[in-house]
Chain A
Amino acid sequence: MKATKYVVTSQDSDVLPSDIALKIYELGREINVKETCFGVIIDGEEEDIEATVKEVRAMDPSNIFIKDRGFPPGDPRRCRGHRGGGARPGFYMMQHESEILPLISRGLASEAEGEEVPSSIGAKKRPSLEELEEMIEEEFS
């Protein structure tokens, strides 16, 4: 059975969509690759796609995100070239999530390093009046 996946890179990533496309070509599997501004779309047999996804993710584990796609790349029912332009259905969700991808990447990186996550937000506590006075004195004295 055929499968299609999006491979999306976070804004923090040093890996470019063209690097991912080249890596997939190097693997030599029968996979269609479409390069986009946010990453690549890959389409092929399910086993090939699963194996490729593992190798692509290994390029930058905390900055590469992978998602299933219903339509194959270039399908006339979704392709903007055939529909006269405009945003592709599903674009808004991806745009919304892309904005927080760098945060998630940092979260994944800290998990990989085994950093402990404190249960409460110490940094968000408002400074008291005395602390504020001290800060002002330090800054302006």
Chain B
Amino acid sequence: MVKVMVYPPTSMILADLVERTGHEALVVSKEVRKKVNTPGLDSPPLNMNPDDPKKGLKYAAVDVPSGVRGRMSLLGPMIEEADAAIVIKGDSCTLGCTGCARTNELTRFLLRTKRIPLLELEYPEDEFQAKQFVHKIREFLEGLN
């Protein structure tokens, strides 16, 4: 079993496809779950504890916006843990009121420089693309065994 990071880290489709093939999907909700069980945090991940910015500093400098460092405190350990990754390119859902373009760029950069098996693709828009999407992901995941 290989630990596969999915990006967007909240993606249901990618996490489901990874777990169907018997691998472990690294998703942000598992990280949030750890924080939910930590006493003293009102509403994770919106609230942080004093150790979180320190974790984020490992991936982004102190002059980088605090939102990037806060997000990296969750995503950074996942990147370190990942043995492979599946990334959705240029999707609007990763950039909204709660998204962050700089975090997206930094995460993709860190995944590329980690030199792990990486599959980059776009969400399908029609049935043909969907068949290719599922086929590519299945081939990629079976190749990891």
State the A residues within 8 Å of B (CB): 3-4, 6, 8, 57, 65-72, 75, 77, 89-90, 92-94, 96-97, 100-101, 103-104, 106-108, 110-111, 115, 117, 121, 123-124
State the B residues within 8 Å of A (CB): 8, 10-13, 15-16, 19-20, 25, 27-33, 35-36, 42-45, 92-93, 96, 98, 123-124, 126-135, 138
Residues A110 and B33 in contact, CB atoms below 8 Å apart = no
Residues A6 and B12 in contact, CB atoms below 8 Å apart = yes
Given A68-B30, A106-B130, 7 new contacts (CB under 8 A): A70-B45, A100-B123, A103-B129, A104-B133, A107-B133, A111-B134, A117-B131
Which 4 A-B residue pairs are closest in the complex by CB-CB distance?
Answer: A70-B32, A107-B134, A103-B130, A67-B12
Distance of A22 Cα from B45 Cα, bound (Å): 33
Distance of A97 Cα from B10 Cα, bound (Å): 10
Residues B130 and A68 in contact, CB atoms below 8 Å apart = no
Residues B93 and A96 in contact, CB atoms below 8 Å apart = yes
Secondary structure call for the B interface: helix
User: Given known contacts A104-B133, A108-B134, A123-B128, is B15 in contact with A92 (CB within 8 Å)?
Assistant: no
Residues B135 and A111 in contact, CB atoms below 8 Å apart = yes
Distance of A106 Cα from B126 Cα, bound (Å): 10
User: Given known contacts A67-B27, A68-B33, A71-B36, is B124 in contact with A107 (CB within 8 Å)?
Assistant: yes
Residues of A within 8 A of B30 (CB): 68, 70
Cross-interface CB contact of B33 among A6, A70, A104, A117, cutoff 8 Å? A70
Among residues of A, the one whose C-beta sits closest to the C-beta of B15 is A67
Distance of A57 Cα from B31 Cα, bound (Å): 24
Residues A104 and B124 in contact, CB atoms below 8 Å apart = yes
Distance of A103 Cα from B104 Cα, bound (Å): 25
Residues B16 and A66 in contact, CB atoms below 8 Å apart = yes
Residues of A within 8 A of B93 (CB): 92-93, 96-97
User: Given known contacts A77-B43, A96-B93, A104-B134, is B13 in contact with A71 (CB within 8 Å)?
Assistant: no
Distance of A68 Cα from B127 Cα, bound (Å): 26
Residues B11 and A93 in contact, CB atoms below 8 Å apart = yes
Distance of A101 Cα from B15 Cα, bound (Å): 13
Residues of A within 8 A of B123 (CB): 100
Distance of A6 Cα from B135 Cα, bound (Å): 24
Residues A93 and B8 in contact, CB atoms below 8 Å apart = yes
Q: List 10 A-B contacts (CB under 8 A).
A: A66-B12, A70-B28, A70-B32, A71-B36, A94-B12, A96-B93, A107-B131, A107-B133, A115-B131, A117-B131
User: Given known contacts A77-B43, A94-B12, is B29 in contact with A69 (CB within 8 Å)?
Assistant: yes
